[in-house]
Structure formats: C-alpha cells, structure tokens
Amino acid sequence: MKPRQQVLIVDDYPGARYQRARILLDAGYDVADVETGEAALEWLADRRPSLVVLDIHLPGISGYNVCRTLKQDPKHREIPVLLITAGTTQDVQAEAAACGADQVLSGDVTPERLVDACRSAIAG
C-alpha cells in the first residue's frame, strides 16, 4: 500500500485551517496544521511534506516570506507551495511569483478547487 501524501496547512484562522484539513483528509491526504509562519518553519525543520498550503496573511512572518525561505533552502526548495488569499490582484500574483510559489488560489476556495490545486501541485 502506497503511503499517503502529507500536506502542511498554515493559516492563523482556526476555521479555515479546520475546514481545509477536513477537505484534504477526506481526499486521502495526511494533514498537519500550524497557525503561524514561525510554527511552519519550526515544523519543517525536520519534516518534508508533499505540499505546503500557505495563507498569505499571517501574523509575524508572512506567507510570502515563509515561501521564500523554503524555496531558498536546498532541503525544501522542491516542496510545492500553494498560496491562498481571499482576494487577488496583479500585485499578489507578482509577489507570489517572486517568492517562488508554485500556485496561488484566490477568492472563494471551494473544496473541489482546493483538492484539484493540491493534486496538480503535487503532480508537478
């Protein structure tokens, strides 16, 4: 039996974290979650998930900076990062590209969109 792929969810809003975790668990992923960028970097210090689902707006270290840190680290740069934001602008897209994000989900993120984006990001 193939091991389940692990997804790390980083979001400071407990409701969003819970909802995304349930969706991804139901889709067959193992899920871990943390609420800050600092906690994400600590968690990632000795782990390598299949994907990081990262809210852009976090207290302390922003999602952009967490992504940038991961993509600059040879140990983690191949981990796909999916940034999530409630709104979208050209600035968001430009900053996401600049920090090395693999995908950006914006607006109303339905369960189907989240699962599809995760599958696509992991598949490369």
Encode pLDDT of 66-100 as tens digits: 999 999 999 999 999 999 998 767 788 889 999 99
Look at residue 84 and tell me if it is in a domain.
Answer: yes
Look at residue 47 and tell me if it is in a domain.
Answer: yes
Distance CA 119, CA 103 (A): 11
- What CATH number did the domain enclosing 97 receive? 3.40.50.2300
**What is the per-residue pLDDT for 110?**
93
pTM, two decimals, is: 0.94
Q: How many domains does the chain have?
A: 1
Entry field: residues in the chain:
124
DSSP 44-107: HTT---SEEEEES--SSS-HHHHHHHHHHSTTTTTS-EEEEESS--HHHHHHHHHHT-SEEEES
Q: What residue numbers bound the domain in which 28 lies? A: 6-123
Q: What percent of the chain has pLDDT over 70?
A: 97
